[in-house]
Amino acid sequence: MSVIDDSLDKIEKDREDTAQGNSTRAVHGGTQRRKAFNSLNTPIVQTATYTFGDTQELIDYMERKTWGDGDDREEYGRYGNPTVAAVERKLAALDGGEDAVLYASGMAAVTSLLLSVLPAGSHIVMTDDCYRRTRQFCLTFLKRFGIETTVVPMGDHAAMEAAIVPKKTRFIISESPTNPYLRIADLEKISQLGKQYRVLTLIDSTFATPVNQRPIEYGIDFVLHSATKYLSGHNDLLAGVVIGRSDRIQALRDARGVLGGIVDPQNAYLLDRGIKTLGVRVRQQNATALAVAEFLDQHPRIERVWYPGLLSHPDYAVAAKQMSGFGGVVSFEVAGDLKATSQFIDRLKIPYIAPSLGGVESLIEQPALMSYYEKTTEERLALGIKDNLVRFAIGIEDSDDILEDLSQALRS
C-alpha cells in the first residue's frame, strides 16, 4: 500500500488481470491507475523521512501500527518508500508472486534474505555453477555463524536429496540459467524436494527474467533477481529483488528496516522505467541469442557452444519444458588458446568488454581474464573455466549487425 493515493488501491487490484501477458504487466502491473498530481509516471518520492501533522496524528499512527495495521503511510525512509513500493508491486505481478521486496543490489537481496531466514547451526544445499559472490557469502560469511553449505553438482538431484539433513537444512539454493554454462535447474524436482523435506527453495532467476521463466508457478518459495541486469536493462543502476508469499516478504521487509539495504527512490524510479520495456527487450535478446548460438554452432572456428536453446546443451529438454525463451546470454569456446580468444574479442566492433549482462548494449568477456584473472590455467580448469571460453551477453542491437560482427572477427 502507498501513501500516494491508497483509496484507489482496491480499484486497481480489482482491475488487475492475472491472465495478462508479460508486456502488459511490465507496463501496468501493480501500479495505481491514478497517481499523485495526475502524473502518468510513478512519482519519485525523494525523501529520507515522513512528517506527522501533530502529536495526535503520530499517536494514531503508532496505535494502528501496534495493532498490526500501520501500513497506510510511511514513517522513515529505511522502512519504506512509495516509489519503491510501486516497483515492488510490479515485480510481484511479473513473477506471479504475492509480494516483492526491493534491495540496493542483487547481493544485498541474497545476503539480506539468508541473514533474515537462517538460524545459527542450520544448513544450506547449493548447486555448483553458482554466482561467485553468493557462493563466497555462504561458504565464508555464513560459516562464521555456524551455518554450513553443501555444494552439489547442477542437475544431480540424487546428490541434492542426499545432501539434505532433516531438520537442519533450511534452504535449497540454485540459479537458472547459471553463469557461464547456462545450466537449467529442474524447477519441478527442486520444488518437490523442498516440499517433501520441508526445506525452503530459492531460485536466482536473474538470467531468465520473468518473461522467460516463472519459478513460483512451479512451487518455488523465493525468486531472486539482480535487477541490475535485465529488469533495469540499461546498465545504469544496481538493485535486487526477492519475490514470494506475502507473510514471508513482509518479514523480509521488516528485516530490511534493520539491515538497511533498501534501494534509493531515484534508482527505484529508473528501474520502473526500465521494466516497462522488459518484454520487448527480452524477446529481441532471445531471438538474437538463438541466432548467434546457431551461427556459432556451425562455425569451424568455434569448438563448442553453450546455449540452452540448442539441442546439444545438456539441459535442452528441461529448458524447453519450463522456459518460454532461452535468454540473451551465449557462452562458447573458440578454437585456440587464451591469446587467440582475446584477439577474436578485440576484433569485435559492437560489444563492449565488460562484466554484467542484460542491458541494451552487448557486453562480452573472457571469464579467464575477468572473474578468474588471478588463477592459473590449471586452477581455472579445476573450476571448469577454460581459457578459450567467452561469455557473450547480447544487447538489443540489430541481429544482422551482431552476426556480421561475429563473422568478420572470426574471418580474420
Ligand X SMILES: *Cc1c(COP(=O)(O)O)cnc(C)c1O
Rule CB under 6 A: is residue 270 a binding residue for ligand X? Answer: no
Residues 6+ apart with CB under 8 A from 222: 113, 200, 201, 202, 203, 242, 243, 244, 248
Pick the binder of ligand X from 2, 31, 81, 105 (CB under 6 A): 105
Based on its alpha-carbon atoms, the radius of gyration of the chain, rounded to whole angstroms, reads: 22
What stretches of 219-334 adopt beta strand conformation (E)?
222-226, 240-244, 302-306, 329-334
Q: Which of residues 120-139 bind ligand X (CB under 6 A)?
A: 131
Determine the interface stretch with ligand X among 24-32, 225-233, 292-300, 365-373 (rule: CB under 6 A): 225-233
Helix (H) or strand (E) holding 148, with range, is: strand 148-152
**Residue closer to ligand X (CB basis): 278 or 410:** 278
Rule CB under 6 A: is residue 365 a binding residue for ligand X? Answer: no
The two beta strands, 222-226 and 240-244, are antiparallel
Rule CB under 6 A: is residue 206 a binding residue for ligand X? Answer: yes
Closest approach, Cβ 101 to ligand X, in A, equals 15
**Residue closer to ligand X (CB basis): 295 or 392:** 392
Q: Is 296 in contact with 330 (CB distance < 8 Å)?
A: yes
Q: Is 336 in contact with 344 (CB distance < 8 Å)?
A: yes
Rule CB under 6 A: is residue 308 a binding residue for ligand X? Answer: no
Pick the binder of ligand X from 82, 97, 106, 325 (CB under 6 A): 106
Rule CB under 6 A: is residue 81 a binding residue for ligand X? Answer: no
Closest approach, Cβ 376 to ligand X, in A, equals 25
Rule CB under 6 A: is residue 91 a binding residue for ligand X? Answer: no
How far is residue 108's CA from residue 238's CA, in Å, rounded to a whole number? Answer: 10
Pick the binder of ligand X from 228, 235, 286, 322 (CB under 6 A): 228
Residue 347: CA atoms inside 13 Å, Cβ hemisphere, count? 15
Determine the interface stretch with ligand X among 99-107, 186-194, 213-221, 384-392 (rule: CB under 6 A): 99-107
Q: Is 383 in contact with 372 (CB distance < 8 Å)?
A: yes
SS3 32: coil
Q: Which residues are near ligand X by CB under 6 A?
A: 105-107, 131, 175, 179, 204, 206, 226, 228-229, 238, 240
